[in-house]
Amino acid sequence: MLSGFSHRFHPWFVVWITIMWCLLMGELTWANLIGGLLVGIAVVMALPLPAMPTAGQGVRWLSLFGYLVIWNRDLLVASFKVAWLSLRPAPLPRTAIVKVPMRVSSELVLSFATALYNLQPGGAVSDIDIANRTWTVHLLNAGSDEALRHELNLIADLERRMIHIFERS
């Protein structure tokens, strides 16, 4: 019985849930702190998460921080491009839905890549075929072959960076 408890109990999850509870309540009081701890323990014990396979996973921290700087720059650039597309005195460009194969080997890295891509304006992953590692992506600007190629190159660059940052060769 005790071995099952230690397998299910993750103290950092309880701490995180307690912090989120106090933030949701809007103030740090003893009652909110104790309530958050109780909620955290109940959630961790009643709803255990499955083990995440992390074999062959690592993080190249310097590359990750460098990419986050690049990602924030790209966020600003993409925001201005989308704003210009909507405000310019011209018709909206053609959109496209394309299937893009992804070479990442881990579902965790695939989910990171999906989240990072979906947070950028200009495109959205609408479906993920996990078995075949394929994204179905809706692209906002596919008005020309050059624009489509540019968007696909951005996805390929994101994929390449995710592999470099998270997957060991």
Mean pLDDT of the chain: 88
Residue reference for tokens 């690049």: 70
Taking the CA atoms of the chain, what radius of gyration do you get in angstroms? 21
pTM: 0.70
Boundaries of every domain in the chain: 2-46, 61-166
Q: How many CA atoms lie within 13 A of 169 on its CB side?
A: 6
On whether the CB atoms of residues 21 and 36 are closer than 8 A, the answer is: yes
In tens, the pLDDT along 54-109 reads 666 788 999 999 999 999 999 999 999 999 988 999 888 899 999 999 999 888 88
Tell me, what's the pLDDT at 2? 47
Note the pLDDT tens digit of each residue in 37-61.
Answer: 999 999 888 887 776 666 667 889 9
